[in-house]
């Protein structure tokens, strides 16, 4: 891998996970889990209550680094993911963001082009530098063999929260605005691409080894809108990050992309694709595996259930996808009711899939 001159990294092979981006199929595959830090861990809940609000936790580098490290200490994952949130970006752009305990994020919704025009990148770097400080601490405190993942939300997914003001099952408010006023919507996409570049650039300069772009709501758009609001802004974001940091791998996670996934990979230029729970292993094997690095895709609810059924499915996933460069993960984030002991069990099962001979 080529490394940017500003990075004082160890050679990538000390971090096993990075070898998959050199085209190696590792056995057992490297493993980390989306939302591996979070409410299912008692030590997370304790740190969070010390921090005050959720954003106070994201903006406290010592505490954010601490909760990033908690699952690494417990489970020895091959990668840590920076503790922050995709909604740090709207907050940095001047939109009011808060988190209601038990209910999720609340933003003052952007009603029209005027509200979008009032947002500003000026001052955002102050917020992003606090997040970069967390990354810097992590690079010092993490074991040398643990890769550090930086991340942001994809412009489309972040926009759905900015326009809707909260999470929703159909993203109707954002989809409607995109039809009603595509020009204003495009302006928001362009602003989010620029802000996400600044957010990710700060993370890479501070020591992130690779990046993931979360497009959690990519699945709600028809094909022409998918091209315009998922593929195009992600392609712009990836192109600018590749220009600045050609050696830093980027994982795209277009949740719900289904049939669009292979085209998403080809047209955005990502180095890896996160596959969601619903994506059939046969489709992944036929259209993605061996062409790009594949990540996924155990059902988070099977991790809650645990037991023989989980073991069987893990072996099936690794058996099918582990023959090519592959990272084991869930198909979406860990849910709060997950028993921590099941996560330990899962990691043991994945590591036990090592092919001998």
Reply yes or no on whether 35 is catalytic. yes
| Position closest to ligand 1CP via CB | 167
On the question of a cis peptide bond just before residue 28, with omega within 30 degrees of 0, the verdict is yes
| Residue indicated by tokens 């609810």 | 301
Helices (H) and strands (E) in the chain, counts: 16, 9
For the chain, state the CA radius of gyration. Answer: 19
| Residue indicated by tokens 């929703």 | 168
Reply yes or no on whether 161 is catalytic. yes
CB nearer ligand 1CP, residue 189 or residue 218: 218
Q: Which of these is catalytic: 15, 16, 40, 48?
A: 48
| Residue indicated by tokens 């996560």 | 343
Minimum distance from residue 26 beta carbon to ligand 1CP (Å): 22
Minimum distance from residue 224 beta carbon to ligand 1CP (Å): 24
Distance CA 109, CA 340 (A): 36
Minimum distance from residue 7 beta carbon to ligand 1CP (Å): 22
For residue 60, with 0-12 CB atoms within 10 Å meaning exposed, 13-18 middle and 19 or more buried, which class applies? buried
Q: Which of these is catalytic: 85, 201, 215, 236?
A: 85
* CB distance 153 to 214 below 8 Å: yes
Minimum distance from residue 297 beta carbon to ligand 1CP (Å): 14
Minimum distance from residue 134 beta carbon to ligand 1CP (Å): 11
Reply yes or no on whether 13 is catalytic. no
Interaction site with ligand 1CP (CB under 6 A): 34-39, 48, 54, 81, 83, 85-87, 99, 104-105, 151, 153, 167, 214, 216, 333
Minimum distance from residue 34 beta carbon to ligand 1CP (Å): 5
Q: Which of these is catalytic: 40, 59, 75, 161?
A: 161
CB nearer ligand 1CP, residue 161 or residue 324: 161
Nearest to 36 by CA among 187, 163, 188, 146: 146
Q: Which residues of 19-46 are buried (b: 16+ CB within 10 A; e: fewer)?
A: bbbeeebbebbbbbbbbbbbebbebbee
3-class DSSP state of 128: helix
CB nearer ligand 1CP, residue 105 or residue 252: 105
Reply yes or no on whether 75 is catalytic. no
Name 177's Cβ contacts closer than 8 Å, sequence gap at least 6.
Answer: 163, 184, 185
CB nearer ligand 1CP, residue 38 or residue 296: 38
CB nearer ligand 1CP, residue 4 or residue 53: 53
Reply yes or no on whether 85 is catalytic. yes
* CB distance 321 to 25 below 8 Å: no
CB nearer ligand 1CP, residue 97 or residue 324: 97
- The angle subtended at Cα 102 by Cα 60 and Cα 332, nearest 5°, is 80
3-class DSSP state of 348: helix
Q: Which residues are catalytic?
A: 35, 39, 48, 85, 161
């Amino acid at each position: 891998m080529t490394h940017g001159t500003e990075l004082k990294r160890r050679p990538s092979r000390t971090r096993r996970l990075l070898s998959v981006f050199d085209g190696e199929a590792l056995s057992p595959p490297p493993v980390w889990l989306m939302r591996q830090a979070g409410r299912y861990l008692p030590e997370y809940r304790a740190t969070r209550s010390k921090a005050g609000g959720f954003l106070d936790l994201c903006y406290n580098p010592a505490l954010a680094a601490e909760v990033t490290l908690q699952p690494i200490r417990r489970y020895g994952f091959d990668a840590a993911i920076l503790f922050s949130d995709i909604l740090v970006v709207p907050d940095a752009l001047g939109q009011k963001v808060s988190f209601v305990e038990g209910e999720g994020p609340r933003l003052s919704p952007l009603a029209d082009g005027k509200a979008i025009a009032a947002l500003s990148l000026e001052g955002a770097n102050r917020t992003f530098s606090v997040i970069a400080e967390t990354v810097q601490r992590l690079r010092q405190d993490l074991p040398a063999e643990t890769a550090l993942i930086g991340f942001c939300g994809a412009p489309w997914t972040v926009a759905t929260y900015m326009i809707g003001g909260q999470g929703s099952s159909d993203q109707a408010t954002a989809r409607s605005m995109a039809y009603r006023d595509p020009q204003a919507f495009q302006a928001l996409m362009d602003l989010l691409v620029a802000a996400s570049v600044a957010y990710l650039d700060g993370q890479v300069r501070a020591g992130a080894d690779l990046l993931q772009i979360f497009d959690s709501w990519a699945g709600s758009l028809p094909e022409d809108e998918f091209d315009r609001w998922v593929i195009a802004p992600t392609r712009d974001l990836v192109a600018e990050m590749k220009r600045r940091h050609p050696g830093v791998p980027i994982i795209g996670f277009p949740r719900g992309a289904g049939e669009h996934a292979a085209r998403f990979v080809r047209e955005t230029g990502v180095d890896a694709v996160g596959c969601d729970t619903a994506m059939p292993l046969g489709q992944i094997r036929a259209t993605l595996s061996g062409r790009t690095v594949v990540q996924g895709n155990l059902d988070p609810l099977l991790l809650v259930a645990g037991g023989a059924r989980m073991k069987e499915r893990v072996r099936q996933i690794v058996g099918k996808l582990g023959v090519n460069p592959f990272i084991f993960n869930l198909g979406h984030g860990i849910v709060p009711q997950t028993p921590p002991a099941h996560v330990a069990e899962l990691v043991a099962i994945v590591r036990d899939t090592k092919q001998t001979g």
